[in-house]
Structure 1
Amino acid sequence: MDPRALLRRAGLEAKALPVPLHGGDIARVWRVGPYVVKLAENPPPGLFAAEARGLAELGKRGVRVPPVLHVAEEGLVLAYLAPGKEDWEGLAAMLAHLHRQREAAYWAEPGFLGTFPLPGRQGGEWTEFFFLRCIEPFLKATWERLEGLGPQVEALFRDPLPTEGPAPLHGDLWHGNVHFAQGGPALLDPSFFVGERGVDLAMMRFFGGFPPVFWRAYEALYPVPEAVARALPRYQVYYLLAHVHFFGQGYLGALWKAISAF
């Protein structure tokens, strides 16, 4: 994979040599002068288009994201945001502003968590929406590897989840998708949809990486009700099923712990 080939097809030029950047498990990422180029071999159709849409949706709602300069089936070209100092309080303000916004209904376009395809869905009651859009597809994909935990996962969503109102979400908000850039923090690699902010909070709590200074600032701006805090393990089941799918049964212990917490 040559990132300069995608730049040429995009009508962009950079004299600098490609410099590899951290790109996770899905794509290889390079900085080429003022550009960031993401490429993947045989990605699922629509993967990078969905990422570009998610960045655009976050940007429209006041979140700083890298500008998308070109979208292709095999990759993306983004503007390079030079690294800056950590600003956890600035990140908290940006996320509180995002999560406070309200939309008319829950909705999601067809998209991805990692490379796993998720269906689109429009409207309806939140618990059913979240189960059918986020939980059920992973349950079907992992059922034979769950060692009997599948029915217990289903039972978690028989009772309603707490609701605050439809809010725009990053959807895959672990610390690796936060970039502290010059001029302020930015978010990367979204799995955007409109749901309840507990989904984002659950992922942020699940992997850690968000220090106390962040949580103090976020809570001061947008306090988390006790009912939402209690529901976070139910949302974490979504990401744990994804980890079972991508990485195997080593995550069953954590899945059982999340189930038992409810």
Structure 2
Amino acid sequence: MSLGGGVTSPEALLARAGLPPYPLTPLTGGDVARVFRAGPYVLKLHPNPPEGFFPAEARGLLALRNKGVRVPGVVHVEEEGLVLEYLPPGRPDWEGLARMLAHLHAQKEALYGGERVYLGPFPLPGGFGEDWGRFFYEKRVLPLLEAARPGRLALEVERLPWARLPQEGPVLVHGDLWHGNVYFAQEGPALLDPSAWVGERGVDLAMMRLFGGFPEAFWRAYQALLPVPEEVWRALPCYQVYFLLVHLLLFGRAYLEPLERAVRGCREWKGTSGSSRP
């Protein structure tokens, strides 16, 4: 992986990475980056990205790879762009995805946190902590709450039972695991566009449940490999508040009603343990 700066075009990014020119094909790139296929590579660029945005993505990809998750290899990173390995597409393998995520979520870390990350284009502070509820509220929810300003819901969010969130132990999470960031490559399932940091696996489970897209075959396989306690399932609306705050900030008032439902679900959560369920 190399580090440079000053990229303004895909051609310049390839040149600065020490790569030959390739024909460029635009790809879907989400809400921040412009994305191109360039032969065996994928280029991600932005003319004026948030500071540290692409380096943070590269760190997340490398962290996930080090935990055994299939991700595109990082070839070159700089402030205005990222060069990744292109993964040829393959067939869906939901059970393989379940095995990969269960393996990721089973690997315990020492502390919650990490370096500064981005959820979409929104920066979230770095730092570490042992108290999960306090860390999640202060370093993840509160910055978004102050930026999104959800009106009367703000006080309700502040009063949610953050201190009572269940703790299974710190693990590396993808951090933005909706179905659009899952990719089935020829070699098997892969993950894209991480917002990776060390948290509770409930963060990933909550995003996976929020917008759907993960079939029953996935949940059966994941639950068989790494069963989820009932109290964790019941607490997922609390983590969904976090994701819905960023959607409210980026996409507007259409997310107020889903946010209110998540707040209500979190408020009603009692933290009682019981049998596991998919």
TM-score interval (norm. to shorter):
over 0.9
**Equivalent-residue separation in structure 1 for 2:263 and 2:41 (angstroms):** 43
Could you tell me which residue of structure 2 aligns to residue 251 of structure 1? 255
After TM superposition, the runs of 4+ consecutive aligned structure 1 residues lying more than 2 A away are none
Of 74, 81, 91, 2:80 maps to 74
> Normalising by the residue count of structure 1, what TM-score does the alignment of the two structures yield?
0.97
Letter of the structure 2 residue corresponding to residue 13 of structure 1: P
User: Given the alignment, which residue of 198, 203, 228 partners 1:199?
Assistant: 203
Q: Give 1:259 shift.
A: 1.1
Query: Does structure 1 retain, via aligned residues, the 8 Å contact 2:148–2:248?
Result: yes
Deviations 1:138-184 (A, max 9, x none): 011122xx121001001113541001011110000011111100111
* Cα distance between partner residues in 2 of 1:41 and 1:202: 32
Tell me the alpha carbon deviations over residues 17-72 of structure 1, each in whole angstroms, 9 at most, x when there is no partner: 10111111111111010110001121111000000000010011110110100001
Separation in structure 1 between the aligned mates of residue 243 and residue 44 of structure 2, nearest angstrom:
23
In 2, distance between residues paired with 1:41 and 1:218?
40
Q: Distance in 1 between matches of 2:108 and 2:94?
A: 24
The separation in 2 between residues aligned to 1:185 and 1:213, in whole angstroms, is 14
Q: Distance in 2 between matches of 1:24 and 1:118?
A: 19
Residue matched to 2:26: 20
Work out the CA distance in 1 between the residues paired with 2:185 and 2:10. 22
Distance in structure 2 (CA, Å) of the matches to 1:158 and 1:165: 16
RMSD: 1.0
Question: Is residue 2:44 matched to residue 1:38?
Answer: yes
Where do 5+ consecutive residues of structure 1 fail to align? none
Residue ranges of structure 2 left out of the alignment (5+ in a row): 1-7, 269-278
Residue 182 of structure 1 corresponds to: 186
SS of the equivalent of 1:156 reads coil
Residue 141 of structure 2: which of 135, 138, 141 is its match? 135
Matched, 1:9 2:16: yes
Closer/same/farther in 2, CA of residues 70 and 156 from structure 1, 3 Å limit: same
Q: Does the CA contact (< 8 Å) of 2:134 and 2:163 recur in 1? A: no
Does structure 2 conserve the Cα–Cα contact (< 8 Å) formed by 1:131 and 1:157?
no
Give the TM-score taking structure 2 as reference length.
0.91
| 1:119-146 residue CA offsets vs partner (Å, 9 max, x unmatched) | 0111220000100111000011122xx1
Aligned pairs for 1:46-195 within 5 A: 46-143=52-149, 146-195=150-199
Counterpart position of 2:231 = 227
Letter of the 2:121 counterpart: T
Q: Which amino acid aligns with 2:226?
A: Y
